[in-house]
Amino acid sequence: MSDFEQFMLSYRFDFVAPSTFFEEKQPWMDKLQVLQKLAADEKNSARIFKALADPPTTSLQRLKALTTGGLPTFIDVGNSFGAPAIVEDNIMHQLVKNGKRVVMMGDDTWTQLYPEHFNKSFPYPSFNVKDLDTVDNGVIEHLLPSLHENDWDVLIAHFLGVDVINTLKSLSTPGGPHENTLLLVMGDHGQTLNGDHGGGTAEEVETSLFAWSPKTPPDAVLSVLGENSCNFDLHGKEVCVSTMQQLDFAVTVSALLGIPFPFGSIGRVNPELYALSAGTWDNQRTGINACTPQDDLEAWKMRYAEALCVNSWQVKRYIDQYSGSSIIGFSAEYLHHVEELYSKAQANWSEVLKSTCPSETAKGEEFKESASSSLQLQIDAYSSFLESFAKLARSAWTEFDLWLMGTGLLLMILSVITQAYILWQKVELQTFFWPRVALPEFIFLLLNIFARFGIELGMSKQVAGPTATKDHPLFKKLEEVWLLALFMPLEPNYLDVVGKAGCFCSVNLHHWRIHFRCTFDGLRYGAAFIGFDNFHIIRQGFLLSIDTFGVSHILPVLSLPFIAVHCYNTASKKSKVKDVTINILIQVHLMYGLITAITTAVTIVCVTIQRRHLMVWGLFAPKYVFDAIGLLLTDLLICLASLYYS
């Protein structure tokens, strides 16, 4: 039985792969030289993988998907700051259930997800974005002594930083009490150039997995390690890189450790990672077939085929239960196709077992070739079934109840119509729908159009080159108009010129263009720690909410009474109505709420239409979440403000 040493690290693929694999070298490349050196010097027992994660790529979702073997659930994003214990079947549960000793050190998210699964744990808080040393130093402090102990079967060390080269050197030193250890250095997700993650871009979903075994597989088994993507590093040594799905991680680790696969896992045992581990290619056969194999490669193929057989049976069992209990389930056409693939693979399995036992009349070379060919065909059959279902799950995993979606959309549209009707009663029809366009407002619109396209053209090489155009009288006039547009906000009557819509558009332009993006990696977590060093979920959540919705929602609603007072001072010169301020305040609150409701309604329509779009989780769903939360926050603030001022 192989021991495992798992080393969790959040890093990009180009942190590990040599810079020669990329068209353009970046400053952060070729920093983890120890991994590249191992992959080059011991390429028969070490391999760099490009591990592809399924979005969304928040840490909680990725850790949950890695251990359960299923696709990440989008709704789990809401638990990122307070992760509940995972109740689904997972490899951590199977490890404990089968008597494996697990030691964890690092990110305290592990103890939140698996509170009773570790023999020993050394958790450290991980949400303080300004503290980059406490977690990593704590891991190193406990990791190095643990390497010389025999009280663990699986060791998890979750670093937050990437400056861990010295630790890697210690881990890769030959010898020690764990000769059958497989070292896995991996990331749960990648990150953008700004260090953000959560979306589905290539930078965020492409991460690395480095595998190293102290023992080298036999020469015959080395053919399993593909060399489709090989290149030379900076020192002229050949380094090979493979690609795998993170979806395959849980079942591969389960197969290597000899524990049952998690019930909800839908991945496939990765052949290259499986071949690197000692114990999968020895000639001491145990299992279904009692015949003695002829060579190491056939022994490995038989073990791998047996692992895929159990892997396929587990996935088929999950398909049957999911289809029977789900309201919608999978389409009958796709489900029939997948079941046909499984039935075909299972029908050939008994024949394959017979073909691996030599008959009295079979010659040695003929039997060897026939057995190896039969095993490869069986491996391909199981792989085809598993890959087909994984593709099906990715394309149609999420259940969309169209009746409930339609009901919610209808209620949203009715609320918008109702709110618009109330405003209709407050404002005259002609004024509400056909406002009189004043000449200054029209001129200001033209100035903004010119400023938009004039700046873009002015910065282009085509316009910046010739000087004749700049000396033209028309160009001089345009420059004057542009300067007026720039200095107009300094005028006292600026608000009267731009009107109500101008202020609203200016606030939103500042918020969405400069401050915030509708993606989870766009959240500015550093703002939650302004003035504080320690993490507290309520305090930091409150500060993050203010930073996220302060300019776009909180400030406009709270500043509406000042607009009402200004309108009252203007109206009081013509009218002596005492409650004009309250009426105007209600009107501006309803107007702002209507604008927010219309925006959310349009977002819901777009999400409904694009529910099967490739970027539904990376783009449309986050936009829907932020707009829905913004609408609820707006309604709450409007109610509180109305109660206070009434």
Please check whether residues 568 and 637 belong to one and the same domain. yes
Give ∠ CA 111-114-117 in degrees, rounded to 5. 100
Please check whether residues 19 and 165 belong to one and the same domain. yes
Is the pLDDT score of 139 beyond 70?
yes
For residues 622 and 500, the model is more confident at 622
The whole-angstrom separation of Cα 250 and Cα 440 is 65
Q: Which residue has the tokens 């690092």?
A: 106
Range 190-215 burial, b when 16+ CB lie within 10 A, else e: bbbeeebbbbbbebbbbbbbbbbbbb
Model pLDDT for residues 18-40, shown as the tens digit of each residue: 887 887 787 778 777 788 888 88
The range of the structural domain enclosing residue 177 comes to: 3-278
560: amino acid identity, one letter:
L
The count of domains in the chain is: 4
Residue 462, phi then psi, degrees to nearest 5: -65, -40
Of the chain, the percentage scoring pLDDT greater than 90 comes to 10
Please check whether residues 475 and 428 belong to one and the same domain. no
Q: What is the CATH number of the domain that holds 113?
A: 3.40.720.10
- The angle that helices 580-609 and 402-426 make with each other, rounded to 10 degrees, is 150
57-61 mean pLDDT: 73
For residues 104 and 455, the model is more confident at 104
Domain boundary, last residue among 248, 278, 308 = 278
Please check whether residues 407 and 394 belong to one and the same domain. no
Please check whether residues 32 and 43 belong to one and the same domain. yes
| Global confidence as pTM | 0.68
Domain boundary, last residue among 278, 298, 313 = 278
The whole-angstrom separation of Cα 169 and Cα 398 is 43
Model pLDDT for residues 501-526, shown as the tens digit of each residue: 666 666 666 666 555 666 666 677 77
Neighbours of 187 (CB within 10 A): 26
Of the chain, the percentage scoring pLDDT greater than 70 comes to 64
- What tokens does 51 get? 């591990």
Is the pLDDT score of 8 beyond 70?
no
pLDDT number for residue 120: 92
Q: Is residue 265 classed exposed, middle or buried when 0-12, 13-18 and 19+ CB atoms within 10 A define those classes?
A: buried
Please check whether residues 320 and 457 belong to one and the same domain. no
pLDDT number for residue 222: 79
Pure H helices in 266-401: 271-276, 296-325, 332-355, 364-396
230 neighbors 47 (Cβ within 8 angstroms): no
Model pLDDT for residues 142-181, shown as the tens digit of each residue: 988 888 888 888 999 888 765 444 444 444 454 444 567 8
Model pLDDT for residues 472-497, shown as the tens digit of each residue: 676 677 677 666 666 665 666 665 65
Model pLDDT for residues 73-103, shown as the tens digit of each residue: 655 554 445 556 788 899 999 999 999 999 9
Is the pLDDT score of 440 beyond 50?
yes
Please check whether residues 204 and 325 belong to one and the same domain. no
pLDDT number for residue 164: 44
Model pLDDT for residues 228-281, shown as the tens digit of each residue: 677 777 677 888 888 899 999 999 999 998 899 999 899 999 999 998 886 776
Please check whether residues 557 and 623 belong to one and the same domain. yes
Please check whether residues 124 and 52 belong to one and the same domain. yes
Please check whether residues 243 and 291 belong to one and the same domain. no
Please check whether residues 542 and 601 belong to one and the same domain. yes
pLDDT number for residue 187: 83
172 neighbors 5 (Cβ within 8 angstroms): no
pLDDT number for residue 444: 58
Long-range contacts of 162-166 (CB under 8 A, 24+ apart): 162/9, 162/11, 162/15, 162/31, 162/32, 163/136, 164/9, 164/136, 164/140, 165/31, 165/32, 165/33, 165/34
Average pLDDT, the chain: 74
Please check whether residues 610 and 516 belong to one and the same domain. yes
Domain boundary, last residue among 490, 506, 529 = 490
Pure H helices in 434-472: 439-458, 461-464
Where is mean pLDDT largest: 130-139, 254-263, 581-590? 254-263
Is the pLDDT score of 451 beyond 80?
no
pLDDT number for residue 287: 47
Beta strands 206-212; 46-52: pairing state: antiparallel
Model pLDDT for residues 102-117, shown as the tens digit of each residue: 999 988 888 888 888 8
Please tell me whether the peptide bond between 84 and the residue prior to it is cis, using omega within 30 degrees of 0: no
pLDDT number for residue 46: 87
Model pLDDT for residues 273-320, shown as the tens digit of each residue: 998 886 776 655 444 455 555 677 888 888 899 999 999 999 999 988
What percent of the residues of the chain are helix, what percent strand, and what percent coil, each to the nearest 5? 60, 10, 35
Residue 11, phi then psi, degrees to nearest 5: -150, 160
Q: Is residue 349 classed exposed, middle or buried when 0-12, 13-18 and 19+ CB atoms within 10 A define those classes?
A: middle
